[in-house]
Structure 1
Amino acid sequence: MTNQARIILISDNHGLAKAITDIRDRYCHGEYLFHCGDSEMPPFMLDGFAAVQGNNDEYNAYQFRKVLNVAGHRILLVHGHRDMFFGHYDMLAERGKEAGCDIVMFGHTHIYHDSVIDGIRLLNPGSIWRNRDGSEPSYMIVDINGSEVKVTRMSYHI
């Protein structure tokens, strides 16, 4: 098992199929593709993505949470609507600890976020459709090299 990986993290495209196609086409060379929910798309349209269900997803084919092992890290993938209130990131950190994870990836807020609480890295790529803080639509590249987790915020132009 390698201790290096690249994760492309997106969330909250709310039916914008072009965003899914663009990301899959651009990053189809061995990267992990993770979606934090509110795709509002049937599972076959997210082929190749590890995806969870958001509060606006009507398809019950998605789980609300997934625990993924990537490059020596345990990652909790959630939408966040069941795991926190806006601004209460400590609740997400607690969910990560309960699941034995060191990284929690989430969406729901439509606001980019990168912090560490109680040793748990919390990552939200913002919305690839529309961010609530007025910033451009965004997604995240997460590069893992052993214990180092480097995050790059990427703008997405619709």
Structure 2
Amino acid sequence: MRIVVLSDTHGSIDNSILKISQLKDVDIIIHLGDNVKDAINLKEKLGIEVIYVKGNCDFLGEKSDEEKIISLNNKKFFITHGHLYDVKKDMNKIFYRGKELGANVILFGHSHVPTVVKYEDILLLNPGSPTKPRIGSNKSIGLIEIKNDHIEGEILALE
């Protein structure tokens, strides 16, 4: 199973659409907020199922949860934007929340800084931002592959 992860698109998805179109066998897209409308547009333009949560820049008109627990390929995913867990400071709160929930994978955005860490057999992935990268990072999205019960995450630079 191949899962594309995006966050913090802030109204611009053209470069993400181009990159996703180049990838093979994408099963699902997960959008971690800061423009829920972009998530809906991705589904319409690519014809791939999109699961999404709203972020701190998604306002009252956008209807979505701020966090979700989903199961994909027998793996439990905790998805959230990250602002509720102070991820710009560190990953402690989000890690322990995911651990408490029994997550195999924790997905978050908000900081615009790409991160892939495996700790205590839990994969934490922040795809960064395809529009407004921070702290010297490149524009990016994330990719998760699940093969034979093994989970791998990586950051894909755009442009």
The TM-score with structure 2 as length reference comes to 0.84
Q: In the alignment, which residue of structure 2 is the partner of 1:17?
A: 13
Distance 1:146 1:50, change over 3 A: same
Question: Which of residues 98, 101, 109 in structure 1 aligns to 2:100?
Answer: 98
CA-atom RMSD in angstroms: 2.1
Question: Which of residues 27, 41, 48 in structure 2 aligns to 1:45?
Answer: 41
Distance 1:97 1:87, change over 3 A: same
Structure 1, unpaired ranges of 5+: none
Greater helix fraction, Structure 1 or Structure 2: 2
Structure 2, unpaired ranges of 5+: 44-48
Q: In the alignment, which residue of structure 2 is the partner of 1:108?
A: 110
Q: Is the 8 A contact 1:34 1:49 kept in 2?
A: yes
CA distance in 2, matches of 1:19, 1:12: 13
Once the two structures are superposed, the pairs formed by residues 17-96 of structure 1 within 5 Å of their partners are 17-19=13-15, 21-22=17-18, 25-26=21-22, 29-39=25-35, 41=37, 44-47=40-43, 48-58=49-59, 59-96=61-98
Q: Is the 8 A contact 1:72 1:146 kept in 2?
A: no
Of stretches 6-15 and 80-89 in structure 1, the one that deviates more from structure 2 is 80-89
The TM-score with structure 1 as length reference comes to 0.84
SS in 2 for 1:91: helix
Distance 1:84 1:29, change over 3 A: same
Q: Is the 8 A contact 1:140 1:152 kept in 2?
A: yes
Q: In the alignment, which residue of structure 1 is the partner of 2:143?
A: 141
When the two structures are aligned, how many residues end up with a matched partner?
153
Q: In the alignment, which residue of structure 2 is the partner of 1:120?
A: 122
CA distance in 2, matches of 1:118, 1:37: 26
Query: Identical aligned pairs, as a percentage?
Result: 25
